[in-house]
Structure 1
Amino acid sequence: MAPNETEDSTGAAQADDELRAERRRKAARYVVPVAVVGVAAATIGLVPALADSGDPDLPKITAQELINKIAKSDVQQLSGTVKISTDLGLPDLGGLESGLLSGAAQGGGDGSSADPSAKLTELASGTHTLRVAADGPEKQKVSLLESGAEYSLIHNGTDVWGYDSKSNEVYHSTAAGSGKADRHETPATPKDFADEVLKSVDDTTSVKVDGTAQVAGRDAYRLVIKPKQSGTTVGAISIAVDARTGTPLKFTLTPSSGGAAVVDAGYTQVSFSEPAASTFDFTPPKGAKVTEAQKGDKGDGITRAPGRSTPGQSAPQELGKNGFDVLGEGWNAIAVIDSGDKGGLPSGSASGGGDLGGFLGSLGDPVSGKFGKGTVFSTRLINALITDDGKVYVGAVDKAALVKAANAG
């Protein structure tokens, strides 16, 4: 204790810390629409790739032929290094935004720093380096490399392990069968993500082959997907496809507003050889705190948009299965969620002290219409309108589209 520091001041500081933590937890549920889909934008591109310079001379191929090549690709084994940069345009809140994202994604998780539903929210902003490996549907590993530390998520047969070397904590869940964990899955492969993107290809979408590229030393075709509809925040999706294997190697999503990519992720090195079997072995280190997944707690460790993995996927019936309504179609689809929280953003009394509602309101734009009043929270990709009657409208659409949907709803 410092010479002038008293026990009272220490207690007061702890109380302040606890109050701030409680406010962050309460705030988290009000930014779930933005946070969940924002994290989705980061995590769904875990294993695509960064392009090198050069445009290789490859045989001509049509968009449909390239789509077929992706569909027929059956790469089961790979390893490599991935770099992912995410710029959702989230405000700098001095660390609060990380707490909100983590709380929203964890959503009542088990409280371990090794829980992937909390840990992988770090990919929602900034630039990160990952090591990835896969050997069929039963063995995958993703390691997030940090300064002086590493976080690993390992799926091996019936076990899924998360390990945070910084805190020496371990998270463990067991598979429910068919290589699927009880609560957590390993991240989507490039082919998984490309398959989801290509589900959005309909009469609302333009698809073409736009030249070639060198990705991690491999020749690739560039497939470009663009919405035909106006009002969406999605500008274009570019997927670099390995010319030999048909494996998607690079994923870049740019917003309709222009500027830097929202997500630019990819291999800096990749191999399609079989990884060493020991890559997927894991035993909790001596002295590590091990947390077992809560029984009956279903859901993915990788947070995806409700009912659909990709902006533009026209599947309102899937949203309906998950308890959501959907307005519109294609890239303009808007999920409608009844949060049950009447009165809009939390007030001081609801947040345990302080004007949390005013704070969150300052991050959004007040709007009004036939629906009443509400607040729009925006990122460069996903916008969400929270109305005073507890409804949430969220989608990869602009603010005007959300207000129009709320008025119609």
Structure 2
Amino acid sequence: MAPNESESAVRRKATRYVVPVVVVGVAAAAIGLVPALADSGNPDLPKISAQQLLEKIAKSDVQQMSGTVKISTDLGLPSLGGAAGTFAPGAGGLSGHGGGKGGSSADPQSKLMELASGTHTLRVATDGHDRQKLSVLDSASEYSVIHNGDEVWAYNSATNEAYHAKHAGAAQDRAGKHDKRELRDGVPATPKEFADQVLKQSGKTTSISVEGTSQVAGRDAYKLLVKPKQSGSTVGGITISVDAKTGLPLKFTLTPAGGGKAVVDAGFTKVDFAKPAASTFDFTPPKGTKVTEGGDHKGADGQRGPRAPHAPVAPQGSGKMPKEMRGGGKNDLKVLGEGWTSVAELKLPGGHGLPKGGPGKGDVPPEAQKFMNALGDHVTGKFGSGTVFSTRLINALVTDDGKVYVGAVTKDALVKAANAAQ
């Protein structure tokens, strides 16, 4: 570390080195690996401080690699069954992204939402900033997103549909006109991306320490433990297993404050730092494939090209919401508090609370009403009355007068924040 470089500066620097192992990722901001991914030993490694390990992550610049990642999410949500589509952003069509009235089953905006629940196996490969591939493997099908130069393809083998778009930023990247780490702005799908988000959000409300060693995917690793100092957060702790040789995060585990299995646990089961074969990034639609052209869309940051599904969160410790979530309308978000117990406040359109279902009302589908009733818990306070919807990580309070308070905090902390806002 430079003589005048602060710990917070090093943390910020650590987030700048994003390994471009995928083009797109999952929703949420918030994903436990099966027991088969448990650490396979505790190697004897030289002692290292948390600061030194942060520096190792910051210096990591892995450009070529391939491997297999397993991701599993357990937010504690009730099973939606066939009603899952009711809540998917792409339900009913993806206007502007799918390129057609019905959208496309290969469009990343809709397909990758599936990674927000359950257990999934991903195969990833990268060769610099211009070539990446992500494949989601199912028992009888495969979904892949391939970025090769200025071309982006997504293919769903289950439906024989493909999504194609031009990545207009690629030529600008080669000309040095863009900061390459800004080209992907989506939800994390690898341990490195999860770690980047957490380190970026670390502040004075966070405790960071080294808690021993482990072995992940046959590689020796240090375990970095990130924990909130504040009470009231639903996050118990986050463990990041960092490759001892390259500084690349190999595994990410988020455990809830309430105990039990991990809410999010993503880790490599296989990893290889050799240059992937050039053919890995080649793609030609099979005969008979329905191809949807996504066009050359302009993203929220002014860049053109396809965008990953995006779910920004307020930086921990900053008390500020990202600019993507601050608009100029009446529904602007505010952030109450700071750090791990920060709560976002916004107004529902029309200033009304939740719509009600039931015979003759028809405001919401029966499946959606059943889902809300299963999660809801009626509460009252200075704010009035409302319903708290809970998962193992995120809680949201929807008041009867049309306000929403949401955060990775306990129900009591949520109600307290709503009362303080009056």
**TM-score grouping bracket, smaller chain normalisation:** 0.7 to 0.9
Q: In 1, Cα distance between the equivalents of 2:190 and 2:326? A: 24
Please list the CA deviations of residues 110-158 of structure 1 after superposition, one character each: whole Å capped at 9, or x if unmatched.
3211111211122122211111101112111110101210000111222
Q: Does 1:41 align with 2:30?
A: yes
Question: Map of 1:219-298 to 2, 5 A cutoff?
Answer: 219-293=220-294, 296=297, 298=299
Q: Does 1:398 align with 2:405?
A: no
1:153 partner amino acid: V
**Partner residue in 1 for 2:16:** none
Question: Map of 1:5-404 to 2, 5 A cutoff?
Answer: 39-42=28-31, 50-97=37-84, 99-101=86-88, 103=90, 110=98, 111-177=103-169, 178=173, 189-293=190-294, 296=297, 298=299, 301-308=307-314, 312=316, 314=318, 316-318=320-322, 322-323=326-327, 324-348=333-357, 349=361, 351=363, 357=369, 360-404=372-416
The offset of 1:278, in angstroms, is 1.0
The offset of 1:107, in angstroms, is 7.3
1:325 partner amino acid: K
**Partner residue in 1 for 2:17:** none
Q: Give aligned pairs, total.
A: 368
Distance change (3 Å), C-alpha of 1:405 and 1:187: closer
Distance change (3 Å), C-alpha of 1:153 and 1:40: farther
Per mean C-alpha deviation after superposition, the further-off stretch among 76-85 and 63-72 is 76-85
Q: Would the aligned equivalents of 2:227 and 2:236 in 1 still touch at CA under 8 Å?
A: yes
Q: Would the aligned equivalents of 2:26 and 2:189 in 1 still touch at CA under 8 Å?
A: no
2:45 partner amino acid: L
* TM-score, L = length of structure 2: 0.79
Find the residue that maps to 1:40 and give its secondary structure.
coil
Q: In 2, Cα distance between the equivalents of 1:232 and 1:247? A: 28
1:160 partner amino acid: V
**Partner residue in 1 for 2:18:** none
Per mean C-alpha deviation after superposition, the further-off stretch among 149-158 and 171-180 is 171-180
Please list the CA deviations of residues 20-54 of structure 1 after superposition, one character each: whole Å capped at 9, or x if unmatched.
xxxxxxxxxxxxxxxx9973323xx99xx945311
* TM-score, L = length of structure 1: 0.81
The offset of 1:265, in angstroms, is 1.3
Q: Which ranges of structure 1 fall in alignment gaps of 5 or more residues? A: 1-35
- Could you say which structure has the higher helix fraction? 1
The offset of 1:294, in angstroms, is 5.8
2:381 partner amino acid: G
The offset of 1:357, in angstroms, is 4.7
Q: Would the aligned equivalents of 1:319 and 1:335 in 2 still touch at CA under 8 Å?
A: no
**Partner residue in 1 for 2:15:** none
Q: In 1, Cα distance between the equivalents of 2:213 and 2:346? A: 42
Q: In 2, Cα distance between the equivalents of 1:192 and 1:342? A: 37
Please list the CA deviations of residues 254-298 of structure 1 after superposition, one character each: whole Å capped at 9, or x if unmatched.
000000000111111100111111111112222111122266463
Q: Would the aligned equivalents of 2:77 and 2:391 in 1 still touch at CA under 8 Å?
A: yes
The offset of 1:170, in angstroms, is 0.9
Q: Which ranges of structure 2 fall in alignment gaps of 5 or more residues? A: 1-24, 174-179, 301-305, 328-332
Q: In 2, Cα distance between the equivalents of 1:186 and 1:305? A: 6
Distance change (3 Å), C-alpha of 1:352 and 1:369: closer
Find the residue that maps to 2:110 and give its secondary structure.
helix
Please list the CA deviations of residues 42-73 of structure 1 after superposition, one character each: whole Å capped at 9, or x if unmatched.
3xx99xx9453111000000000000000011
Find the residue that maps to 2:113 and give its secondary structure.
helix
Identity %: 61
Find the residue that maps to 2:109 and give its secondary structure.
helix
Find the residue that maps to 1:203 and give its secondary structure.
coil
Q: Would the aligned equivalents of 1:335 and 1:394 in 2 still touch at CA under 8 Å?
A: yes
Distance change (3 Å), C-alpha of 1:50 and 1:297: farther
2:326 partner amino acid: N
Q: In 2, Cα distance between the equivalents of 1:37 and 1:152? A: 13
Q: In 2, Cα distance between the equivalents of 1:318 and 1:56? A: 40
Distance change (3 Å), C-alpha of 1:356 and 1:321: closer
Q: Would the aligned equivalents of 2:67 and 2:124 in 1 still touch at CA under 8 Å?
A: yes
- Give the RMSD, CA atoms, in angstroms: 3.1
The offset of 1:361, in angstroms, is 3.3
Q: In 1, Cα distance between the equivalents of 2:146 and 2:187? A: 7
Q: In 1, Cα distance between the equivalents of 2:120 and 2:131? A: 23
The offset of 1:82, in angstroms, is 1.0
Distance change (3 Å), C-alpha of 1:78 and 1:295: closer
The offset of 1:362, in angstroms, is 4.0
2:58 partner amino acid: A
Find the residue that maps to 2:222 and give its secondary structure.
strand
Find the residue that maps to 1:316 and give its secondary structure.
coil
Q: In 1, Cα distance between the equivalents of 2:365 and 2:402? A: 21
Q: In 2, Cα distance between the equivalents of 1:85 and 1:315? A: 29
